[in-house]
Amino acid sequence: MKKQITLIRDIKEIEKRLMQAQSGVLCIHLDNEKLMQIACNFIYLDKNIYTYLDSTDEDYVHIKYGAMGIFSISTSEKINTIAKDFTYRLSYTTINGEIKDVDDNKLREQIAELYRLKYSRSIDANDYEVSENLKPVILDTKEIKSLIEEGM
């Protein structure tokens, strides 16, 4: 077995990966000392992650705003090369930050429109509605780390 890990330092490359990704996993510390992990779609905007949380979820009342959160995306591919140096490539990006409520109405509208454009482009803007139970949150980024693992 052979493995090589490369740290990606180019923020433009990291942002490109975040913009292309369709979903990720958000991990939030709850006030009852538990962790909540949810697979979610998201928007990457101004170096922060925006997503919606369902207020009808039983853990929603335990969300600890101001606490640390972690968001991760990953991709993998099988490599078919003649040299056979590596047979797979796994890339993952992790964002650490603080969970905050989105209370600015203009920002809420911007997030909704960006969601529509990314996930529901075929729906007209006038017909697009975000359910009342979906509450926008921001992962206010403190650190972004991206790695590529290649191996065989």
d(CA 114, CA 97): 21
Burial 55-67 (b: 16+ CB within 10 A, else e): eeeeeeeebeeee
Predicted pLDDT at 2: 84
Predicted pLDDT at 84: 67
pLDDT tens string for the chain (152 positions)?
789 999 999 999 999 999 999 999 999 999 988 999 999 999 999 999 999 999 999 999 999 999 999 999 999 877 776 556 778 889 999 999 999 999 999 999 999 999 999 999 999 988 999 999 999 999 999 999 999 998 88
Predicted pLDDT at 83: 57
Predicted pLDDT at 1: 76
Predicted pLDDT at 79: 74
Percentages of the chain per state (helix, strand, coil), in multiples of 5: 20, 50, 35
Q: Torsion-angle region of residue 59: left (phi > 0), alpha (psi -120 to 50) or beta? A: alpha
Is there a contact between 3 and 151 (Cβ–Cβ < 8 Å)?
yes
Tell me: the pLDDT tens digits for 45-80?
A: 999 999 999 999 999 999 999 999 999 999 987 777
Q: Is the pTM of this model over 0.95?
A: no
Domains of the chain: 3-151 (2.30.110.10)
